[in-house]
């Protein structure tokens, strides 16, 4: 892969995001909501930084996945991707450029969560590492959906249910014990447990194992989608 092509795709996405409201909203919505809710809503008995914990895990399940799907599906449908590939940008370079851009943009959002959640020192570092891993899994998942679907309509039909499950499962599982037992095998639930400032941090080999299995499954799905769909 050539770094100059990856850099060019990265720069292109920065410019395009300012025009793509759907992607821009994904990057900004939850960080802004967290700042507003943390500063305006104070209910007796509510855990400290409750909204930071809730919205950060929802952000992991929604923003990178929807952003990747939206970018890939739109550029495939409009023919922009075909033009790039004809201009000697390889598919792997394009996906790396888009993926690194989405990851970086989402990590900027994570810095907002870190600040509103009052994380400092090693806690802040741990928070960013967990968020970074969760964001990576979601963007690979989104990339798989994006390359597998031929147009925006199909991509939306597939990505919306997936996004809703990943984003809201951690919150819903807190109200149902059966759902909680099932949710623990999903990476967004593990992210929620590990980054929630109101929860006790109980990281062990179980947490790590579940996250690693999720990474392997999503990567395998992406590999299959990439080989089948290609960029014809």
Look at residue 29 and tell me whether its pLDDT is greater than 80. Answer: yes
- Does 114 or 229 have the greater pLDDT score? 114
pLDDT over 90 percentage in the chain: 57
The mean pLDDT value for 104-108 works out to 97
Three-state secondary-structure class, residue 188: helix
pLDDT at 200: 52
pLDDT at 136: 98
Look at residue 47 and tell me whether its pLDDT is greater than 90. Answer: no
Look at residue 10 and tell me whether its pLDDT is greater than 90. Answer: yes
pLDDT tens-digit map of 165-220: 999 999 999 888 899 999 999 999 999 988 876 555 566 778 889 999 999 999 99
Exposed / middle / buried, residue 67 (Cβ in 10 Å: 0-12, 13-18, 19+): buried
pLDDT at 203: 67
Measured distance CA(37)–CA(51) in Å, rounded = 7
Measured distance CA(170)–CA(199) in Å, rounded = 13
Measured distance CA(149)–CA(21) in Å, rounded = 21
Reference 100, options 13, 20, 212, 163; nearest CA is: 13
pLDDT band per the 50, 70, 90 thresholds, residue 133? very high
- Sign of the torsion formed by the C-alpha atoms of 171, 174, 179 and 181: positive
Q: Among 20-29, 109-118, 180-189, name the one with the lowest average pLDDT.
A: 20-29
Reference 56, options 178, 154, 196, 182; nearest CA is: 196
The mean pLDDT value for 102-118 works out to 95
Within 10 A of 71 (CB to CB), how many other CB atoms are there? 25
Look at residue 163 and tell me whether its pLDDT is greater than 90. Answer: yes
| Half-sphere exposure for 195 (CA within 13 Å, toward CB) | 35
pLDDT at 103: 97
Mean of per-residue pLDDT scores for the chain: 89
pLDDT band per the 50, 70, 90 thresholds, residue 55? very high
The mean pLDDT value for 38-46 works out to 82
Three-state secondary-structure class, residue 135: helix
């Amino acid at each position: 892969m050539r770094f100059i092509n990856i850099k060019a795709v990265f720069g292109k996405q920065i410019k395009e995001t300012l025009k793509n409201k759907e992607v821009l909203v994904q990057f900004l919505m939850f960080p802004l909501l967290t700042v507003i809710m943390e500063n305006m809503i104070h209910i007796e008995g509510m855990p400290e930084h409750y909204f930071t914990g809730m919205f950060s895990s929802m952000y992991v399940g929604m923003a990178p996945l929807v952003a990747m799907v939206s970018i890939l599906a739109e550029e495939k449908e409009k023919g922009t991707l075909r033009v790039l590939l004809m201009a000697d940008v390889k598919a792997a370079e394009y996906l790396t450029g888009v993926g690194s851009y989405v990851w970086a943009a989402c990590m900027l959002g994570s810095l907002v969560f870190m600040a509103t959640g009052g994380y400092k020192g090693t806690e802040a570092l741990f928070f960013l590492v967990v968020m970074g891993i969760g964001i990576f899994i979601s963007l690979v998942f989104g990339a798989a959906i994006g390359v597998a679907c031929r147009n925006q309509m199909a991509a939306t039909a597939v990505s919306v249910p997936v996004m809703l499950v990943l984003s809201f499962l951690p919150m819903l599982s807190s109200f149902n014990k059966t759902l909680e037992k099932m949710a623990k095998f999903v990476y967004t639930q593990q992210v929620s447990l590990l980054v929630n400032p109101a929860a006790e941090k109980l990281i062990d080999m179980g947490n790590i194992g579940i996250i690693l299995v999720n990474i392997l499954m999503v990567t395998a799905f992406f590999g299959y989608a990439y080989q089948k769909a290609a960029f014809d």
